[in-house]
Amino acid sequence: MGKESLLLFLWIYVAKTWASLAISTEATSLSNTTDWVVDYSNIQTKFSLRTADEPEDDLCYLVPGQPETISQCNFNPNEQTFLVIHGWTVTGMFESWVSKLVYALYKREPASNVIVVDWLHRAHQHYPTSAAYTRLVGQDLAHFLNWIEAELDYPLERSHLLGYSLGAHVAGIAGYLTKKKVNRITGLDPAGPNFEYADEQSSLSPDDAEFVDVLHTNTRGSPDLSIGIKRPVGHVDIYPNGGSFQPGCDLHKAMYMIAAAGFKEMDQLVKCSHERSVHLFIDSLLNEHKQSLAFRCGAKETFDRGLCLSCRKNRCNKVGYEVKKVRSRRSSRMYLKTREIMPYKVFHYQIKLHFFSQKNISFTVQPVQVSLHGTQNETENIALVLPAMSTNKTISFLLTTDVNIGELLMVKMKWEKDSYFSWSDWWGSSSFMIRKLRVKAGETQAKVEFHAQNGDFAELKRGGDFATFVRSKESHVSKRHAREHRRRMYASPWGKKMD
């Protein structure tokens, strides 16, 4: 069985597993009030105030209508409150990411209140049923927030709701129903099935909080069957690695998991990219000095060409906890690359070059290797594939590395053979001449020009050695622009150290 057939088989299996997701739920209208709740006993959702010492355990519950539980649980009315909202569950138990997120929130904000919103009983149902229950859970949560606000005169401007999968829509419904707006909702790969075409009252939307930021990490598949929602639903919608499968969640890993544990672990494959949204947020909490940047772009394909690495007019933003509040009438799609393990941060570079040749030659899907050498470090043999290489053509492509090389001094490029034996090389090898490279660094916004190290041109020969380019002495780098960028992003003219 070939790779394509095997991949199709896997997706058929997943599609059958999630086939019920397309079932529509009965719509019910919601009004922006929770005054209809008169009996606190009708609230089935539980609200556990966890502690930094015991992030895994629910030791104390805040119960609406029972103000004594506020003091019993040591709720701090002078600090901000995070509310962690889980999604659909197959096991009926909290997944391991919940305690990890609680721990990371306390690590970053030790004096805060971290509340886990427990709706496990309703979440442990047939998916369409649990999806429909998000309305009731959202109403419970809204009433809880209104009760806290009224009981303690607690400003909801201090509240931050973090919802994963179905939990993101719970957060949205709650935010829509509270008497006063909550400060922020973070949607962690909001669920797609039953919500891709839902109205704003029934799903997460920009109107549900003063600021709504969203991480989309599993948007593969047709609309309303995609595990994560495809459409933008926040003020800032970030699509790491294009928003589809994430690094480390590929077919190779799936085959390893199936070989080791059989198809019983198939849900882990499905969750890998979906749950990556949570771990990206945890990463932003724990690795404060390795903050990932995302860049506004119209499409993934454009971003992959390196054409969107601009930070002007809010075109870039931090990912996760320190995302800058950007309110606009139109959602802002943003993209970035990550690596497969924490810390996820990589450095983005746009490389632009022009091909010269005495012969009119053209190639598609060509493997190359690029090495970067800088003032702090170097990274060698970064493998990538160029979609096209043609005589008298200019190309632009995106290059990423997880190594902070500092100020870029030298770039090397090698054109590999796409096979050990190629008919195109039978009558002689192919090569291009390159005069210079233009490089833009996304994280620093520096623009640098590189010229051939020896002579006017460097030869990029198929199957040959590296073509070497060194930084031009006359290269123009907008120092003022880079300085302004550091000040905006890091509140300092020198910026924070990027490890």
Q: Which residues have a catalytic role annotated? A: 165, 189, 274
CA distance 177 to 35: 10
- Name the β-bridge partners of 440: 350, 447
Residue 31 CB partners (closer than 8 Å, separation 6+): none
CA distance 165 to 143: 21
CA torsion through residues 451, 455, 458, 464, sign: negative
Length of the chain: 499
Q: Is 157 annotated as a binding residue?
A: no
Query: What six digits make up the tokens of 26?
Result: 């009965």
Q: Provide the edge-to-edge strand list for the sheet that holds 113-118.
A: 46-50, 113-118, 81-85, 159-164, 184-188, 211-215, 236-240, 332-336, 293-296, 316-318
CA distance 93 to 461: 58
Q: Is 153 annotated as a binding residue?
A: no
Contact (Cβ atoms closer than 8 angstroms) between residue 1 and residue 9: yes
CA torsion through residues 161, 164, 168, 170, sign: negative
Max intra-chain CA distance, the chain: 87
CA atoms within 13 A on the CB side of 50: 25
Q: For residue 169, what is the DSSP state?
A: H
Q: For residue 155, what is the DSSP state?
A: -
Residue 454 CB partners (closer than 8 Å, separation 6+): 468
CA distance 86 to 251: 27
In 256-346, which ranges are E strands? Answer: 293-296, 316-318, 332-336
- Name the β-bridge partners of 228: 191
List residues forming the annotated binding site: 200, 208
List residues forming the annotated binding site for Ca(2+): 200, 208
